[in-house]
Structures are given as C-alpha cells and as structure tokens.
C-alpha cells in the first residue's frame, strides 16, 4: 500500500512537471512536444487511479471467503473494462506519450541528447520489466534522472 501511495504521489508530481514541459515546448502553434507532454499527463492522471485497485486487493485479503475473492480478482483482471483501463492509461498514454516526448525533446535539442535516450530506456525497462520490482524501480530512477535537465531548464525559465 505504501508503494502504491508513493507511486500515486509521484505520478501527480509528474503531472505538474508535464504542465511545465507543455509551457517549455510552446511555439506559435501547438507543438509536437506539447501534444506528447499532454498525452503523458493524461496517462499519469489515469494511473493515479491504480491506487483504487490496490485498496481493493487489500480489502479482499481480509475477506472470510478467500476462494470467492480470488475468483472475483481473476474475473476483474479478465474483464474488458480492466484491460481497457490499463491499455489506455499505461500502454497508450503513458508509455506512448513518453516515447513521443523523448522524440520531441531530441528534435528540439533543448536538453542534452542523453536525456531523451534515458527516457526511452526507462520506458523500455518499464514496459518489458513486467512485475519485477527491481526493474520497475530502476525504470523510475532512470526516468527521474532523464527529467533532471528538463526540470532545470523549466526552473531557469521561471526566474525573473
């Protein structure tokens, strides 16, 4: 539960950061980078809802009829709505948005070239790592490192 809460807070902080990226990538018209950052924002907002699934899992663990809860959990994970939620927010918005954002940052050259590469590597680790906790942690650490130059750029633009 603590890990899920930390992930939710982290996702919400990234939403705020993506708003800064949208501002940083501005131009005379809506830019590719703004669209990518907006897509990532939608993905992270959606992923904050994953805490509800964790609370549901915790509540099921204390239920007296454990077999019924295991069956209910399996049915939920096999449902179309559950799969659509994760496909939309995890695969399409978050992963797809981060890949597009890495491309936009590389094309704009506003951060060192290693930063978009690190975003791509983090996404790859996150997507193919499955449920391996250490790979998941490593992908988030790499993503954090990749966003540092962008955060410094946004911070320097906000100073009078």
Q: What pLDDT, on the 0 to 100 scale, is given for residue 36?
A: 94
More confident residue, 63 or 32: 32
- Contact assessment for residue 122 and residue 95, using Cβ atoms and an 8 Å cutoff: no
Q: Is the pLDDT of residue 137 over 90?
A: no
Q: Is the pLDDT of residue 146 over 80?
A: yes
Over the stretch 27-60, which tens digit does the pLDDT of each residue have? 889 899 999 999 999 888 887 777 677 777 777 7
Over the stretch 99-122, which tens digit does the pLDDT of each residue have? 999 999 999 999 999 999 999 999
Interacting residues of 8 by C-beta distance below 8 A, sequence separation 6+: 47, 48, 50, 51
pTM: 0.78
Please tell me the distance from the alpha carbon of residue 145 to that of residue 10, in angstroms, as a whole number: 14
Tokens of 3: 């890990």
More confident residue, 160 or 141: 141
């Amino acid at each position: 539960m603590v890990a899920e809460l930390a992930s939710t807070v982290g996702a919400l902080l990234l939403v705020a950061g993506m708003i800064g990226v949208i501002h940083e990538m501005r131009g005379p018209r809506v830019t590719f980078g703004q669209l990518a950052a907006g897509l990532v924002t939608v993905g992270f907002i959606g992923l904050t809802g994953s805490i509800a699934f964790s609370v549901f899992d915790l509540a099921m663990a204390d239920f007296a009829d454990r077999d019924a809860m295991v069956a209910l959990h399996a049915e939920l994970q096999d449902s179309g709505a559950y799969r659509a939620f994760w496909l939309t927010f995890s695969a399409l918005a978050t992963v797809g948005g981060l890949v597009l954002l890495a491309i936009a940052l590389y094309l704009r050259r506003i951060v060192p070239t290693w930063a978009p590469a690190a975003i791509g590597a983090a996404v790859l680790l996150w997507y193919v790592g499955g449920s391996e906790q250490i790979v998941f942690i490593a992908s988030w650490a790499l993503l954090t490192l990749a966003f540092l130059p962008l955060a410094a750029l946004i911070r320097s633009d906000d100073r009078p």
